[in-house]
């Protein structure tokens, strides 16, 4: 947001969470503090300004979003850059501005001027604070009366303690944890139910939006409002939040569409919405390497495992890899166990594997640690694995989400990085989805073959360097203590439910040390829910 406020040559890579509420972009821009060499600035007023835009004075820990004062030197560490800034004063005059390394203090650059943007996006103006607090207190009294009439005394007590604490923090510090849940009261011109400010409002009107993997992103955008609404209603019902917290929400799909002025949808399998919205569709079928979409072969389900084992051994002998996709978790586990018994180096990729570990597993596949990966719904979009020459789709004729034409085309595409790429569908009949996927793949393949023949291009497998991954975690045995994750208040209940489920699963699997760690995290989270 700092870059968007100060320049136009900006590329922002964001998830669908970009449609969640942020602070008012106008207020964010107005709250900035500027310094110029030679300018006269009263020191105490400057420090109050920094505190007013949510910077914390901390002489011991020079962390992000803090500042410290040493004699005539003021050092600020913004939240939006890796550098820190040192301002040297001569009395009330700014004598020097330098950019420094926050760890070593090394001088990086000398500046003529400096603009410091707020440390947080929700910046309640001091002159509107009391009025906003009065509105919060009025809503609190109304809600407490409602809960009293419903005889929901526990929720009534919880809501009063939590909200009174937040009000006290707002009065004393001008900020509280979860201040975004009171955003409606800090926006006098915003009506209940009206769209919140989001990251999209920080862009100029002529910005370009690229929606990657739009066949998945668009459904996620449609679902986010209802999912957030359902969760917030539960929090309001049980006294964790005031009803106005419902207005701290993501955009609805229609509201998002109104803000998407210029859009490029990118997908190998665009959905009906994208196709209906676009004025022109551009197909990117020809690859610079001349690689073709893979050949597709249909084989009967009977004996599919033994046939698959034969194909795997043939690929392994050539130094190639394979991806295998099944319909159920149980089948994936059983198939992985069987292939291991047959001396195949196989790993099962499932939904409980976190993002970092998933990347490590796929890197190990490329490096030859594994011959094949077995998965369910994780072997589709975004995988670039040049060593994979075989994609096996088991039970391809079982119609459903995992075997729709779009899902099949995405899975087929994982074999398009190798010159000998092949897809084997194990099926006893050809479903409509299979036929559409096969027809589309063959159409693309025919265009690619014609282009290669016309230009004398010989397909070549992508040569891609195997990057070394940084170790993102230490072994559990060497950990002295694990820091408890820090969650936003509204997410605590959801996190407790998820951790309790994981704890029970770990205990069932006799992983008692893991279960004990999860139990400790649950206890800590429950303590966060207790009033201070």
pLDDT of residue 97: 92
Label residue 293 by pLDDT band (50, 70, 90): very high
What does pTM read for this prediction?
Answer: 0.73
As a residue count, the chain comes to 532
- Angle subtended at Cα 232 by Cα 229 and Cα 238, rounded to the nearest 5 degrees: 140
Label residue 165 by pLDDT band (50, 70, 90): very high
CA neighbours within 13 Å on the CB side: how many for 383? 30
pLDDT of residue 92: 86
Q: 100 near 113, Cβ under 8 Å?
A: no
Residue 419 to residue 471: CA distance in whole angstroms: 32
Is residue 141 helix, strand or coil?
helix
Label residue 382 by pLDDT band (50, 70, 90): low
Q: 373 near 362, Cβ under 8 Å?
A: yes
Domains with residue ranges and CATH for the chain? 33-116 (3.30.2060.10), 126-265 (no CATH), 295-455 (3.40.50.300), 478-529 (no CATH)
> How crowded is residue 524: how many other Cβ atoms within 10 Å of its Cβ?
11
CA neighbours within 13 Å on the CB side: how many for 348? 17
Residues 114-120: what's their mean pLDDT?
Answer: 88
Specify the range with the lowest mean pLDDT, choosing from 123-127, 338-342, 391-395, 398-402: 123-127
Residue 326 to residue 308: CA distance in whole angstroms: 12
Residue 160 to residue 182: CA distance in whole angstroms: 15
Phi-psi sector, 71: left (phi>0), alpha (psi -120 to 50), beta: left
pLDDT of residue 61: 84
Alpha helices in 81-179 (DSSP H): 129-149, 153-173
Residue 20: which residues within 8 A CB-CB, separation 6 or more?
196, 198, 228, 249, 250
pLDDT of residue 529: 66
Residue 263 to residue 210: CA distance in whole angstroms: 6
Exposure letters 257-269 (e unless 16+ CB within 10 A, then b) = eebeeeeebebbb
Residue 235 to residue 241: CA distance in whole angstroms: 6
Give me the chain's average pLDDT, please.
85
- Res 436 pLDDT > 90: yes
Residue 519 to residue 209: CA distance in whole angstroms: 43
Residue 481 to residue 464: CA distance in whole angstroms: 38
Q: Cα-atom radius of gyration of the chain, to the nearest Å?
A: 28
Residue 124 to residue 110: CA distance in whole angstroms: 33
Q: What is the per-residue pLDDT across 466-505, written as a single tens digit (0 to 9) for each?
A: 665 444 444 343 334 444 444 444 567 767 777 887 887 7
Is residue 266 helix, strand or coil?
strand
Q: What is the per-residue pLDDT across 318-337, written as a single tens digit (0 to 9) for each?
A: 999 999 999 888 888 899 99
Residue 53 to residue 30: CA distance in whole angstroms: 10
Specify the range with the lowest mean pLDDT, choosing from 126-130, 213-217, 255-259, 293-297: 126-130
Structure tokens at 305: 């495992």
> How crowded is residue 160: how many other Cβ atoms within 10 Å of its Cβ?
17
């Amino acid at each position: 947001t700092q870059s968007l406020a100060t320049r136009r040559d900006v590329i922002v890579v964001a998830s669908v969470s970009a449609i969640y509420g942020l602070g008012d972009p106008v207020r964010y821009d107005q709250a900035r503090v500027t310094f110029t060499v030679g300018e006269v600035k009263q020191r105490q007023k400057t420090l109050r300004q920094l505190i007013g835009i949510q910077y914390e004075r901390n002489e011991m820990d020079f962390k992000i979003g803090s500042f410290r004062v040493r004699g005539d030197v003021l050092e600020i560490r913004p939240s939006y850059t890796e550098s820190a800034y040192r301002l040297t004063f001569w009395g009330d005059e700014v004598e020097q501005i330098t950019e420094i390394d926050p760890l070593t203090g090394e001088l990086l650059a000398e500046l003529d001027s400096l603009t410091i943007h707020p440390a947080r996006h929700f910046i309640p103006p001091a002159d509107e604070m009391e009025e906003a607090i009065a509105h919060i207190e009025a809503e609190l009294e109304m809600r407490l009366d409602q809960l009293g009439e419903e005889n929901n005394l526990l929720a009534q007590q919880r809501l009063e303690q939590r909200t009174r604490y937040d009000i006290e923090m707002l009065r004393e510090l001008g900020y509280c944890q979860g201040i975004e849940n009171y955003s409606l009261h800090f926006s006098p011109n915003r009506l209940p139910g009206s769209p919140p400010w989001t990251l999209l409002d920080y862009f100029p009107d002529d910005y370009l939006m690229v929606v990657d993997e739009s066949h998945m992103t668009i459904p996620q955008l449609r679902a986010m409002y209802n999912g957030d609404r359902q969760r917030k209603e539960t929090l309001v019902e049980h006294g964790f939040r005031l009803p106005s917290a419902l207005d701290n929400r993501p955009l609805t799909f229609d509201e998002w569409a109104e803000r998407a002025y210029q859009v490029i949808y990118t997908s190998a399998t665009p959905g009906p919405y994208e196709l209906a919205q676009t004025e022109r569709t551009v197909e990117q079928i020809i690859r610079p390497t001349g690689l073709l979409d893979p050949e597709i072969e249909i084989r009967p389900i009977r004996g599919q495992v033994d046939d698959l084992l034969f194909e795997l051994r043939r690929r392994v002998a050539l130094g190639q890899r394979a991806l295998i996709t099944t319909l159920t978790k149980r089948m994936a586990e059983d198939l992985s166990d069987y292939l291991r018994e047959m001396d195949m180096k196989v790993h099962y990729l499932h939904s409980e594997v976190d993002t970092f570990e998933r990347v490590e597993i796929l890197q190990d596949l490329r490096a030859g640690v594994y011959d094949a990966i077995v998965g369910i719904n994780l072997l589709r979009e975004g995988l670039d694995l040049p060593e994979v020459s075989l994609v096996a789709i088991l039970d391809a004729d079982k119609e459903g989400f995992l075997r729709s034409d779009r899902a099949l085309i995405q899975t087929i595409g994982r074999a398009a990085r190798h010159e000998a790429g092949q897809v084997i569908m194990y099926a006893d009949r050809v479903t409509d989805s299979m036929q559409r996927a096969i027809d589309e793949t063959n159409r693309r393949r025919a265009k690619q073959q014609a282009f290669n023949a016309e230009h004398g291009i010989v397909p070549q497998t992508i040569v891609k360097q195997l990057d070394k991954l940084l170790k993102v975690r230490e072994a559990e045995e060497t950990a002295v203590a694990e820091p408890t994750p820090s969650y936003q208040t509204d997410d605590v209940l959801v996190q407790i439910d998820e951790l309790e489920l994981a704890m029970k699963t770990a205990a069932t699997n006799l992983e008692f040390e893991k279960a004990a760690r999860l139990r400790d995290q649950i206890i800590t989270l429950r303590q966060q829910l207790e009033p201070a």
